[in-house]
Structure 1
Amino acid sequence: MATRRHPTARQARLGSELRKLRDAAGLKATAAATLLGVSSVQMSQIESGIAGVSEERIRRLAANYACSDSALIDALVVMATDRTRGWWEEYRGVLPAAYLDLSELDHHATFRHDVAVIHVPGLFQTEDYARALFSYMNPEFPESEVEHRVHHRMKRRVVIEGPTPIPYEAVIHEAALRIKVAGRPASCAQLTRVAELSEEEHISVRVIPFGLDDFAGAGSAMVYVGGAVPRLDTVVRDAPHGTAFVDSEAQLDHFRTLFRRVKGESLDPGQSRDLIHKLIKEL
């Protein structure tokens, strides 16, 4: 059984889900290892994503764990057997692993919900806007490092602009639309892009206006990515030391509720589009 030195977030998630199934069944790792005919060390490697696992072994484990959720089991099998090497692989060794993990997460997403408070969502960003952000946040980076990040961000837009776009809902605070990250002309181009994309059938843009009373959700920024089944959804949040992937059931329920609440407090798509056009005219 071959092992990996650095499993991707998707590989680690597969192992984590298998461990959750085992815990729910009340079995120890040693018992699961016996079921597969492997050592306890090998079982630990499977559940940490360091080692791969076959379809046959996943289905054997699921049967012994008394898991009857066939949709979940099928989704785990796909995660284990999919050998996709996407466009993001060209950045391996060039950008931090989290950038590639985000791209892979997008690639397999069934939908995506964003809440943005300070900056325009990454999938909406223009090159000038993204470049200004990366340059400001990483002033020590040489130009080549900044450009790698900008080009990667532009390629990630394929999930909403490619041949098979996913449904995408973005809730954006007016603050993010008003802050001139890259100067007046670039800001105008950025707002114009958001307004144009808001016209697409698979994209919904809602704005939280400054004038909203009793809005305490300034800390609710998130990226919520739909999985093949709800249990495999993922929330992505910026953490002090990098990107955090949240996937516990309790946390997912919390963020689903939070997104519905923030969305419910925002303007509807038509009113939001009108506000964006008003901001463009003010520039």
Structure 2
Amino acid sequence: MPRRPHPTARQARLGAELRKLREAAGLKAREAAVLLDADSVQMSQIESGIAGVSEARVRRLAAHYACDDADLIDALVAMAVDRTRGWWDEYRGVLPQVNLDVAEAEHHATFLREVVINHVPGLLQTPDYARAVFTYMRPELPEDELKPRVEHRMRRRAVIEGDDPTPYTTIIHEFALRIRVADRRTSRAQLRWVLDNIEHGSVSVRVIPVDQDGFGGAGASMMYLGGPVPQLDTCLRDAPTGIACIDARPQLERLRTLFRKVEAASLDTVASRDFVHRLSKEL
């Protein structure tokens, strides 16, 4: 298969999971390579996502690694044979790779859970709100870079719209709902859009009021994406160098626990809807 100079996060994840299975079996890369009539360099390229791998090779490796988790193997095979060119590919070379990776990850997720503290979540932003957020990027973006970012963010909403939306739960802090990233009109329209999504039943929104007891998770912002099996869950978190993609199982378990704690500190969905409605009336 042709080499990929810039594998996507999904392609890199497949390679990483194959490496985890090999290491769990106590094998070195050169030992696994023999099974594929390859060398250690080729094996390294497969495990880094630089080189693709066929269904037959995935199943051969899994059998050699004594992996008996049929659901996991089938999920890895699905990743290996996936040749999807989604709408996000239109932005290749236009936006940073991480933007494409986020859209691809959302497209393949079985569920989405998000915690946001500072801004309304991207999947629920209006164009004007998104534009206001992007104008604060440093260095400042010229219009020809700002426009595709806003457009890309709007197109990401496809996963929570349509006839078969991905289940999406978002927990939003009151601060994010109150802060005016632009003006009163933009804030009013943004809150109305959040309410529209709630009323259409496409998302589950829960709010954390500023006076809510039991919330110590000011740094809890995250996007947790469900995989076809729990081992393939992913969590996206902001980091100093950009978005960090977390897939180590101990870390994922800690983040699932963190989400449950934040959820426990939030209002239920009905009270949250009423809360957002009151805020919109204040504007």
Following superposition, the deviation at residue 157 of structure 1 comes to 0.3
Please say if 1:21 is aligned against 2:21: yes
- Aligned residue type for 1:260: R
Whole-angstrom CA distance in 2 between matches of 1:274 and 1:111: 25
Q: Which amino acid aligns with 1:173?
A: H
Per the alignment, in what secondary structure is the counterpart of residue 243 of structure 1? strand
Distance 1:159 1:53, change over 3 A: same
- Give deviations 1:58-114, integer Å, cap 9, x for gaps: 000000111011011001001010111010111000000001111110111111000
Residues 98-177 of structure 1: matches in 2 within 5 Å? 98-138=98-138, 140-177=140-177
Matched to 1:224, the amino acid is Y
Residue of structure 2 in register with 1:265 after alignment: 265
Q: Deviations over 1:89-142 (max 9, x none)?
A: 110000000011111101111110000001000000000000000011245211
Q: Give the deviation of 1:202 after TM superposition.
A: 4.2
Structure 1 residue runs of 4 or more that deviate by more than 3 Å after TM superposition: none
Inter-partner Cα distance in structure 2 for 1:30 and 1:252: 30
Identify the residue that residue 200 of structure 1 maps to in structure 2. 200
Q: TM-score, normalised by structure 1?
A: 0.98
Whole-angstrom CA distance in 1 between matches of 2:169 and 2:71: 25
Q: Is the 8 A contact 2:214 2:265 kept in 1?
A: no
Q: Is the Cα contact below 8 Å between 2:161 and 2:202 reproduced in 1? A: no
Give structure 2 stretches of 5+ with no counterpart.
none
Residue 216 of structure 1 corresponds to 216
Deviation (angstroms), 1:271? 0.4
Give the distance between the partners of 1:158 and 1:191, measured in 2 at CA. 19
- Check the 8 A contact 2:195/2:277 in 1, yes or no: yes
Question: How many residue pairs end up in the alignment?
Answer: 283
Q: What amino acid sits opposite 1:135 in the alignment? A: T
> In 1, distance between residues paired with 2:159 and 2:143?
27
Equivalent residue letter for 1:197: N
Structure 1: distance between partners of 2:202 and 2:24: 37
**Alignment-derived partner of residue 91 in structure 2:** 91
Matched, 1:248 2:248: yes
Q: How far 1:144 moved relative to its partner?
A: 1.4
| Alpha-carbon distance in 1 for matches of 2:213, 2:101 | 38
State yes or no: 1:225 paired with 2:233: no
Match of 1:3, SS state, is: coil
One-letter identity of the residue aligned with 2:193: R
Structure 1 residue 191 displacement after superposition:
0.5
SS of the aligned residue for 1:41 comes to helix
Match of 1:189 in 2: 189
Partner of 2:59: 59
Gaps of 5+ in 1: none
**3-state DSSP class of the match of 1:5?**
coil
TM-score under structure 2 normalisation? 0.98
CA contact (8 A) 2:213 2:265 kept: no
SS at match of 1:169: strand
Structure 1 letter corresponding to 2:272: S
Amino-acid identity (%): 64
C-alpha separation in 1, matches of 2:225 and 2:200: 19
Alpha-carbon distance between aligned partners in 2 of 1:138 and 1:198, rounded to the nearest angstrom: 33
Root-mean-square deviation (CA), in Å?
0.9
